[in-house]
Amino acid sequence: MTSSEHATRALVMELVAGETLAERIQRGPLSAEEARSLFIQIAEGLGAAHEKGVIHRDLKPANVMITPEGIVKILDFGLAKALVREGEPALDTSQSPTLTKGTALGVIMGTEHYMSPEQARGKPVDKRTDVWAFGCCLFEALSGRKAFDGEVGTDVLGAVIHNEPDWNALPTIAPRRLLERCLRKNRHDRLQDIGDARIELADQGAEPTTQTRSVKPLALVLMLATLAGIAIGAGLLSLFGNDARPLPEPKRFAIPLREGERIRNYFLSWDNPLVFSPDGSHLVYAASRGSTSFLYLRDMSSGETRQVSGTTGATDPFFSPDGQWVGFLAESRLKKVRLAGGEPEVITAKRFSLEGGASWGPDGWIVFAAKEGLFLVSVDGGESEGLTTSSFDRFPSFLPGGQQISFTATDAAVFDDMANFQDGERLVILDVASRERTGLEELGRASSGVYLDSGHLAFARGSDLLVTAFDPAARGIRGEPRLVTSGVFATTSGRSYFAVSRNGDLSLLLGNPAERSVVVVDRAGREHHVAQGQYMHPVFVSDSAYES
């Protein structure tokens, strides 16, 4: 056209040949390798959108196109929106650009089967809503059935908000751990970034696929049933190093315990049996022989391990800043012993109900958790000074300079609710002098914070270990938390068994005692697995409480 009067405007779109993921699933569940290949691409596509500040909000198998060459195209961004930050108002659905099948005005846009719980409730959404939908799609691709279903839309939404998927529908080779983390109801507990899902799927493809692959014996050694070793991952800080400087690959290996030893662990324990010396050269752990626990010192260079004298009955070890002393709890008192030799010294003459660990600061003070709250005491002994008064404050750790402490606070309202106990955990920064408290609410559920020399804060979220950039002076989080590893041994009381040195060496116990099955055995001897979760002391409430 040479004249603007006759100009024509056109919207040109790519014609994609192939079939949708929904059509592929109709032919039967995908193999593990086929699903891995496709969902790595889906994760890459979502990640690219998220980097541009866009969330899809309606990811589902019908919106994923697969070309004959196996290339994935994510379709229908008609419901996409700019990322909504926490604190912004919920979406006004009357202003949404499109309606999809299964949605109506007055409801947050999307398709019920793939809506996240926050989306179904009409709350603000962020990129984690796409992580949820990704998990729903992956579950459906591997099992051939929807993760959440019902006769009508309201039934589906109820299942999304309240029910768990039928995990038994998944094949044994499914990445169940990844799916569980994508489909956690609380988005703070969910996988935080779709890029982590891509990495996990890619890593699975890099491993040998046979039952006898090299990691299998290690996993068996470290299972909760035996607790026969400590897993070590050296080089945690390589996750955050300077890109211009080549970094060594993190080393991962297991330390077998000596015959007859086992790591102290309790279902409701607030102890932590592991601690690194500040420079990472030594590891101290509490292990039991019979019914008596002792502390053991392992030289990380030579591999030599010896029992620390004077530590009979010791739990919850913690190092002095110079690495010459180790403190511990024994006989309801704080004690310390010089690693070079000598008798243990009592720090707190008064007996406390000690619960939740201790930390040795750089200026000669120790903070410890007791049933009455957090206390401060001189390393030379003397009267203890109360810092907080809540029995729900625990796991203290000094920040650089010794003027601030990070600790875990638990909402008293959920403390007695075993199933939701850990949902109330939050990290708090306490100024020792002013007693001013700053909650790190942006982390959501978080526990056991430890500061690293790199300027990062390591913390636990149940059995996940994460790290985030942290500014102690501003008491602020900088950036999104990053997952370091999963499968950390975590007690129902909120203690995750890991230790990090200042230079980033990591030790942890694998396994999870918090998940237990309730099993009913009928009169014919048949076992019925009723539920899995955080349970203790099951009883029947009536003769008809269980129907086989």
- Give the CATH number, domain containing residue 167: 1.10.510.10
Confidence of residue 270 (pLDDT cuts 50, 70, 90): low
Terminal-residue alpha carbon distance, the chain:
77
Q: What are phi and psi of 483, to 5 degrees?
A: -70, 130
Across 102-106, 172-176, 177-181, the highest mean pLDDT is recorded for 177-181
Instruction: Name residue 411's beta-bridge partners.
Output: none
CA distance 146 to 44: 23
What is the structure's pLDDT at 95?
Answer: 33
Is 151 part of any domain? yes
Cα-based distances in Å from 451 to 328, 403, 501, 502: 20, 13, 9, 7
Quick: pLDDT tens for 238-249: 555 443 334 344
pTM for the structure as a whole:
0.54
- The DSSP letter of residue 208 is -
Instruction: DSSP for 266-324, please give it.
Output: -TT-----EEE-TTSSEEEEEEEETTEEEEEEEETTT--EEEPTT-TT-EEEEE-TTSS
d(CA 23, CA 219): 38
Q: What pLDDT is stored for residue 494 in this prediction?
A: 61
Whole-number pLDDT of residue 380: 94
For 39-68, what is each residue's pLDDT tens digit?
A: 999 999 999 999 888 888 889 999 999 988
For residue 488, what is the DSSP state? B
Shared domain for 497 and 374, answered yes or no, is yes
Q: Which of 204, 227, 248 is the last residue of a domain?
A: 204
Inter-CA distances, 82 with 55, 57, 77, 397, Å: 6, 10, 11, 38
User: Does the structure show a pLDDT above 50 at 514?
Assistant: no
Query: Looking at the predicted structure, is the pLDDT value of residue 217 above 70?
Result: no
The phi and psi torsions of 472 (rounded to 5 degrees) equal -60, -35
Percentage with pLDDT > 90 across the chain: 30
Burial of 50 by CB count in 10 Å (0-12 exposed, 13-18 middle, 19+ buried)? Answer: buried
Co-location of 464 and 377 in the same domain: yes
Q: What is the number of alpha carbons within 13 Å of residue 323 lying toward its C-beta?
A: 13
Mean pLDDT of 71-97: 54
The predicted pLDDT at position 266 comes to 47
Among 338-347, 348-357, 410-419, name the most confident range. Answer: 338-347
60 and 200 part of one domain = yes
**Domain presence at residue 448:** yes
Place of tokens 């950390």: 488
Say which residue, 544 or 71, is predicted with more confidence. 71
Q: Is residue 252 part of a domain?
A: no
Instruction: Tell me what the mean pLDDT of segment 489-518 comes to.
Output: 63
Q: What is the pLDDT of residue 515?
A: 47
Q: Is the pLDDT of residue 109 over 70?
A: no
| Domain with 283 in it | 263-508
Choose between 224 and 382: higher pLDDT. 382
Cβ atoms 79, 96 nearer than 8 A: yes
Identify whether residues 321 and 458 lie together within a single domain. yes
- In this structure, the answer to whether residues 422 and 491 fall within a common structural domain is yes
The answer to which of 50-59, 386-395, 405-414 has the lowest mean pLDDT is: 405-414
DSSP state of 95: G
Spatial separation of the C-alpha atoms in residues 317 and 328, rounded to whole Å: 4
**pLDDT score recorded for residue 11:** 76
Q: Same structural domain for residues 37 and 184?
A: yes
Eight-class DSSP state of 66: E
* pLDDT tens column, 116-173: 999 888 888 899 999 999 999 999 999 999 999 988 888 899 999 999 999 888 886 7
Q: Exposed (0-12), middle (13-18) or buried (19+): which is 206, by Cβ within 10 Å?
A: exposed
**Which of 197-201, 373-377, 411-415 is predicted least confidently?**
411-415
Question: Is 194 a member of any domain?
Answer: yes
Domains of the chain: total: 2
CA–CA gap between residue 103 and residue 112 (Å, rounded): 7
Q: Measure the CA–CA gap between 453 and 504, rounded to whole angstroms.
A: 8
For residue 292, the model assigns a pLDDT of 80
pLDDT at residue 93 greater than cutoff 80: no
The reply to whether 441 and 310 lie within a common domain is: yes
Q: Is residue 299 part of a domain?
A: yes
Residues 27, 158, single domain; the answer is yes
Angle at 103 between CA 102 and CA 105, to 5 degrees: 155
Q: Which residue(s) pair with 470 in the sheet?
A: 477
According to DSSP, the β-strands at 476-485 and 365-370 are unpaired
Averaged pLDDT of the chain:
76
75 and 183 together in one domain: yes
Question: CA 79 to CA 138: how far, in whole Å?
Answer: 21
* CATH code for the domain of 401: 2.120.10.30
Domain assignment present for residue 10? The answer is no
Shared-domain flag, residues 317 and 199: no
Q: Within this chain, do residues 325 and 394 fall inside the same structural domain, yes or no?
A: yes
What is the average pLDDT across 253-273? 62
Report if residue 364 sits inside a domain.
yes
- Asked whether residue 171 is assigned to any structural domain, the reply reads yes
**Do 283 and 388 belong together in one domain?**
yes
Domain boundary among 204, 231, 253: 204
Confidence of residue 276 (pLDDT cuts 50, 70, 90): confident
Is 288 in contact with 253 (CB distance < 8 Å)? Answer: no
Q: For residue 350, give both structure tokens.
A: 């008064």
| Mean pLDDT, rounded, for 434-444 | 92
For 496, residues 6+ apart whose C-beta sits below 8 A from its C-beta are: 447, 448, 460, 462, 463, 465, 488, 489, 490
* Cα separations in angstroms, 401 against 72, 243, 378, 404, 478: 52, 28, 16, 7, 20
Q: At 507, is the pLDDT very low, low, confident or very high (cuts 50, 70, 90)?
A: low
3-class secondary structure, 10: coil
- Tell me the CA distances in angstroms from 348 to 146, 380, 463, 547, one per residue in order: 58, 9, 32, 54
Residue ending a domain, choose from 204, 222, 238: 204
